Structure 1
Amino acid sequence: MRKLMVITFVSLDGVMQAPGGQDEDVDAGFEHGGWAVSHLDERFIQSAAEWTKRAGALLLGRKTYDIFAATWPLADADDPIGSKLNNMPKYVASRTLDTVSWQNSALLTGDVAEAVGKLKQGEGGEIQVHGSGDLVQTLIQHDLVDEFHLVVLPVLLGVGKRLFAEGTIPVGLELIESRTLNTGVVVSTYARNGKVEYGSMGPETGNW
């Protein structure tokens, strides 16, 4: 079975909305677009190239597809991230698009959760989801995410769409890797690890 990994920027208070530009996503009057940009350095770019290289396919929501399709085809041919994104298979979940023009892209049809489940049953390497906040909520609610690759930035936004919103299914996670960049960004990978375990703590329990 193919692994499905969600890769996303997230603020310290859990917001994932519009990290890359002021006009990226202004739903609900969001005024903090572009909040991640000033924290990204050359080491981050190198890390992004490493994880992008692993991908066998992209799975994108409509908004992220529109942004990527308008920008990444402009990348230089020797750009390792742009070259990989432009040439790999891309699957787009959208209720409004009839066609997709970015090379090697295809629209998912029918129920999104069922379509993604079928993709995971196939071959072709890791499926990566970049951004795509609305799609990610659907994937979380249907328990389709195998790993979360979180780029946590040292900012508090207070408002905005959150990565783990209402409807998130309780699951246990295992920290696979974590590293801190010079800008204070913490890049961590978490894998599914069974169910949430419960207990009690305090001096009366010995767990203190």
Structure 2
Amino acid sequence: MRKVILFIAMSLDGYIAQKDGNVDWLRGQEPDNDDMMTYQEFIRGIDTAIIGWNTYDQIVTELSPDEWIYKDLTSYILTHKELPDTENIKFVNENVCELVDKLRQEPGKDIWICGGATVIQPLIEKDYIDRFHISVIPVILGNGIRLFEITESTKLLKLIKSQSYNGITDVIYERR
């Protein structure tokens, strides 16, 4: 069965974006020394991404307005808007847990939970995330959009790997 993997960056104090959604702080100690090796390794095992509307909108309007950066993946965009699908982008209005249930049954590589917080939280609550790959960025934001909200139960994890580069620390945990 396909694994569901959360691959995301957060500030040292646990935020994935500033209150206004800004993510211009997502870089290491030396911004010109960007090492994307962990992403390149991760993405080889992925063929599907689940992305919330706000994250999608930020990608297409700010981060990469001229080109869909995940063109090699099938991307499911969770939205209430009715938009036409493209070859690689599917706009869906359904419960994220039900979508994951369907996708897990289909053949393919692993499934990436790309963001944002409203997509991630129900999956954490239902214990649907198999692996947490979190890049801790060397910044303290003080407030913003939290990665983890209050949950009803404790989630036990097992450390698989950790590594550091350019001031960023990647930690990879799996469910126990």
Give the TM-score category using the shorter length.
0.7 to 0.9
Answer yes or no: is 1:13 the counterpart of 2:13. Answer: yes
1:175 to partner: Cα distance = 0.9
The residue that corresponds to 1:176 in the other structure is 160
What secondary structure does 1:124 align onto? Answer: coil
Say which is worse superposed, 133-142 or 102-111, in terms of deviation: 102-111
The residue that corresponds to 2:123 in the other structure is 139
User: How many angstroms apart in 2 are the aligned matches of 1:185 and 1:69?
Assistant: 25
User: How many angstroms apart in 2 are the aligned matches of 1:11 and 1:91?
Assistant: 26
CA 1:110–1:174 in 2, change beyond 3 Å: closer, same or farther?
Answer: same
- Please, what TM-score do these two structures have when normalized by structure 1? 0.73
What secondary structure does 1:9 align onto? Answer: strand
What stretches of structure 1 of length at least 5 have no aligned partner? 19-24, 76-81, 194-208
What stretches of structure 2 of length at least 5 have no aligned partner? none
Question: Which residue of the other structure, out of 136, 145, 148, is the alignment partner of 1:164?
Answer: 148
User: How many angstroms apart in 1 are the aligned matches of 2:5 and 2:146?
Assistant: 17
Deviation readout 1:132-179 (Å, 9 max, x if unpaired): 222111211222111111000122122112111112641111111111
Answer yes or no: is 1:128 the counterpart of 2:112. Answer: yes
Say which is worse superposed, 142-151 or 64-73, in terms of deviation: 64-73
1:44 to partner: Cα distance = 2.4
User: How many angstroms apart in 1 are the aligned matches of 2:37 and 2:84?
Assistant: 29
Identity %: 28
The 8 Å contact of residues 28 and 138 in structure 2, kept in 1 or not, is answered as no
Could you tell me which amino acid in structure 1 is paired with residue 128 of structure 2? L
Instruction: Give the aligned length.
Output: 173
CA 1:143–1:172 in 2, change beyond 3 Å: closer, same or farther?
Answer: same
The 8 Å contact of residues 158 and 173 in structure 2, kept in 1 or not, is answered as yes
The residue that corresponds to 1:74 in the other structure is 67
Answer yes or no: is 1:90 the counterpart of 2:75. Answer: yes
1:4 to partner: Cα distance = 0.5
User: How many angstroms apart in 2 are the aligned matches of 1:48 and 1:72?
Assistant: 21
What secondary structure does 1:178 align onto? Answer: strand
The residue that corresponds to 1:22 in the other structure is none
- Higher helix proportion, which one? 1
User: How many angstroms apart in 2 are the aligned matches of 1:123 and 1:168?
Assistant: 32
1:68 to partner: Cα distance = 3.0
The residue that corresponds to 1:199 in the other structure is none
Structure with max Cα Rg: 1
CA 1:90–1:169 in 2, change beyond 3 Å: closer, same or farther?
Answer: farther
- Higher strand proportion, which one? 2
